[in-house]
Structure 1
Amino acid sequence: MIHEYEPEATRRATGEAESSRASRGWWDRNADEYQTEHGAFLGDDRFVWGPEGLDEADAALLGPASGLEGLDVLEIGAGAAQCSRWLAAQGARPVALDLSHRQLQHALRIGGGVPLVEADATALPFADGSFDLACSAYGAVPFVADPVRVMREVRRVLRPGGRWVFSVTHPVRWAFPDEPGPEGLSVAASYFDRTPYVEQDESGRAVYVEHHRTIGDRVRDVVAGGFRLVDLVEPEWPAWNTQEWGGWSPLRGHLIPGTAIFVCERD
């Protein structure tokens, strides 16, 4: 009998190239399972900022929906482009970008005619000043070794006055076990330990990488990237949401934040 090797979870240093390679491979391998498990929650044309279920239709973090018509919008880490389809339904002109070829195949499967681009967020293949808005719901930012490179690339492709809104796992969650039950409510690690979380194969090659930044680090990254932070949203867990999503759950969500959304503007 052949036993499939379970990746080893560890905390260790990892660079930009290894992180990018691991992310592309992980999402290509796991896109089918991800879309099967979470597709109903995400919808085909819904803009959800995170597991809490905060909807852009209600939050208007990119601005009023009525003001999106005719705007060029870049979605980074778009997955199957659900958010981009919602933007298109408001009259915007979205472009959905993702590192994973398999995720973009799911975008094609769902359809909707949104332009799709396969590329790394640290090297956006667009001319300066191509977009009015940029957004990312849990895409790219947590998975890159140098998030300031992403910030600077986003600033470059935005027009003056452009807004950049992105969501990530709330940094405080890194101090707690990634468990949805009571065991996920006790501090188990230092919040200040920035060592990346890595899953690696038998040869020590990273197959999944996620990078931890404190709230202060994220703010400094935004500023270093040339943006002004205008809001930091920490969604509360709504009563209607009874689902668990990995370490996110109603139990934890009612007690500690799970998502941080950074609303930034380019001067």
Structure 2
Amino acid sequence: MTQEYEPEATRRETGETESSRASRGWWDRNADEYQNEHGGFLGDDRFVWGPEGLDEAEAALLGPAESLRGLDVLEIGAGAAQCSRWLAARGARPVALDLSHRQLQHALRIGADFPLVEADACALPFADGSFDLACSAYGAVPFVADPVRLMREVRRVLRPGGRWIFSVTHPIRWAFPDEPGPEGLSVAASYFDRTPYVEQDETGRAIYVEHHRTLGDRVRDVVTAGFRLVDLVEPEWPAWNQQEWGGWSPLRGHLIPGTAIFVCERD
């Protein structure tokens, strides 16, 4: 019996094509496990911005819930479309987009009375000015090699005055090991090392890619794409949340930020 190969984790350069192929393959292979592990926390129709559990129902980063009625909203990197389901329940008209076919199958399994679109976030298949809002909770942005291209696409499909709100791993976390316990509290790498994190198979082919940007890089990406940064939210870890999610944990969450949420507007 052959032993299953354990992917090698490394830091190396990787481009748009390799990153996109790796992300599609990884999420198609791991969608079932991801939904089994995290589906209870995410719920079927909650809008959660990250592992801290910051809920859009409380944060209102998209605007007051009553203001969402009748708005066209694009969710990018929607996964099983939990956020879109929450938006639809408030009278919005969401479209849930994801690169992974298997993730969208989970969206169908749970139920979706709104469009599901399988597409790359860097090449949105929509006309200019199609949406009032765009959002992404840990979807797409950390996984693309050219985030400015993605954001220019988002700006293109937004109407003037539209908001674009996205959450990513807080950039400071890249300086620490991805461990939830005490061993994850010591700096292990340079915060300024932008070399992508890559997991590759025995042939050297990337099967998972995540791109690191500093906080300043993220702000410049937003501005370069033509957005105005309205707010930068760093959720604190709440006392009620005792779960561990990968490298996120109550221990680390009380000491260093784990998520950064960028609130942007299209002029």
Task: Give the alignment's TM-score, normalised by structure 1.
Answer: 1.00
* Residue deviations 1:162-182 (CA, integer Å, cap 9, x gap): 000000000000000000000
**1: CA distance, partners of 2:109 / 2:66:** 28
Q: Which deviations, in whole Å up to 9, do the C-alpha atoms of 1:19-55 show, x marking residues without a partner?
A: 0000000000000000000000000000000000000
Which residue pairs with 1:246 in the alignment? 246
**Which stretch of structure 1 is more off in the superposition, 109-118 or 211-220?**
109-118
Alignment partners' CA distance in 1, 2:266 and 2:214 = 22
Query: C-alpha offsets along residues 122-176 of structure 1, whole Å, 9 cap, x if unaligned?
Result: 0000000000000000000000000000100000000000000000000000000
Give the structure 1 partner of residue 62 of structure 2.
Answer: 62
Report how far residue 249 of structure 1 moved: 0.1
- 1:32 maps to what in 2? 32
Q: Distance in 1 between matches of 2:111 and 2:4?
A: 34
Match of residue 166 from structure 2: 166
Residue matched to 1:104: 104
Residue 113 of structure 1 deviates from its aligned partner by: 1.1
Structure 1 counterpart SS, 2:189? coil
The secondary structure found in structure 1 opposite 2:18 is: helix
The alignment of Structure 1 onto Structure 2 pairs a total of residues equal to 267
- Shift in Å, 1:2: 1.7
The offset of 1:194, in angstroms, is 0.1
Q: Distance in 2 between matches of 1:3 and 1:111?
A: 38
Alignment partners' CA distance in 1, 2:142 and 2:186: 23
Aligned to 2:146: 146
Which consecutive segments of 4 or more residues in structure 1 shift more than 2 A? none
* CA displacement, residues 219-264 of structure 1 (integer Å, 9 cap, x when unaligned): 0000011100000000000000000000000000000000000000
Counterpart-to-counterpart distance in 2, 1:9 and 1:79? 24
Q: Separation in 2 of the partners of 1:33 and 1:113?
A: 24
5+ long unaligned stretches in structure 2:
none
State the alpha-carbon separation in 2 of the partners of residues 201 and 177 from structure 1. 21
1:64 shift after superposition: 0.4
Sequence identity percentage = 91
- SS of 1:62's equivalent? coil
CA distance in 1, matches of 2:139, 2:225: 17
Shift of 1:112: 3.0
* Distance in 2, Cα, partners of 1:122 & 1:61: 23
**Structure 1 gap segments, 5+ residues each:** none
Deviations 1:184-220 (A, max 9, x none): 0000000000000000001000000000000000000
Cα deviations by residue, 1:59-118 (Å, 9 ceiling, x for unpaired): 000000010000000000000000000000000000000000000000000003121000
Secondary structure, in 3 states, of the residue corresponding to 2:96?
strand
| Structure 2 SS opposite 1:192 | coil
1:1-267 correspondence to structure 2 within 5 Å: 1-267=1-267
What secondary structure sits across from 1:33 in the alignment? Answer: helix
Provide the secondary structure at the position in 1 that maps to 2:212: coil
Q: Name the CA distance, whole Å, in 1 between partners of 2:262 and 2:203.
A: 37
